[in-house]
Amino acid sequence: MKSLSVAQTNQIITLLEQQQSTCQIAAYTGLNHSTISQIRSKLCPDLQKSSGGHPSLVTSTDMCHAIQFISTGKVENAVQVTKALQDIKTHPISSQTVHRHLKKSGMKAVVKKKHPLLSKRHRKEWLDFAVILEDELQQSLEYFNKSPEDILFQQDNDPKHTSRKAKNWFEDHDYEVMNIYGFTSKESWQSILNHQRDCRALGESGEGMGED
């Protein structure tokens, strides 16, 4: 190694402490790259070596934004995160880069669970409910000489009540439906059945009906 002056050696040490790479110092001082590496090994063995490469395209601030987007439900995957970050960044980044940084931060991709197909029990319940509407409800209206426009049909949010088949049936038969929240299916239907029973009993006894 070529003999260096104290001033040159101190300059190299100062630049190394400033996290300058050996290549950068060599270009700045005009010295050989190997000379600077030897000084580093002998005089500054405890200095942390530069990781090299270009600065990361995704900063810690970007990752904070990305995690916030995901946690608030604004985005669902790395592609959507990338599009959201592009609105606040001045240089382009790829979804692979974002995915890699999300993985480093402890997040991982998951596959959405698919809704299970309807079981035989569910299909039977829906068909039974359709039969109840077609037979029992229609017969009750005919018994009291009422039409769908005269009543407000109340029910809870049981899946068979809010199914597409049930909704289509109500729409096709011009029923106005109000869903009751906060009741279990059993309680709600028991209330409706009790009301129908009382109405039938009242009609059969003639009570509450006007005189001819």
Domain ranges of the chain: 6-43, 60-105, 120-202
Backbone angles phi, psi at 152, to 5 degrees: -120, 115
pTM for the whole thing?
0.34
What is the per-residue pLDDT across 71-110, written as a single tens digit (0 to 9) for each?
A: 888 888 888 888 888 888 777 888 888 888 888 888 877 7
Q: Read out DSSP for 60-84?
A: HHHHHHHHHHHHTTS--SHHHHHHH
pLDDT for residue 52? 58
pLDDT band at 39 (very low <50, low <70, confident <90, very high): confident
**CATH number belonging to domain 120-202:** 3.30.420.10
Mean pLDDT within 115-132: 69
pLDDT for residue 96? 87
Residue 104: C-alpha distances to residues 40, 73, 93, 108 (Å)? 31, 20, 17, 9
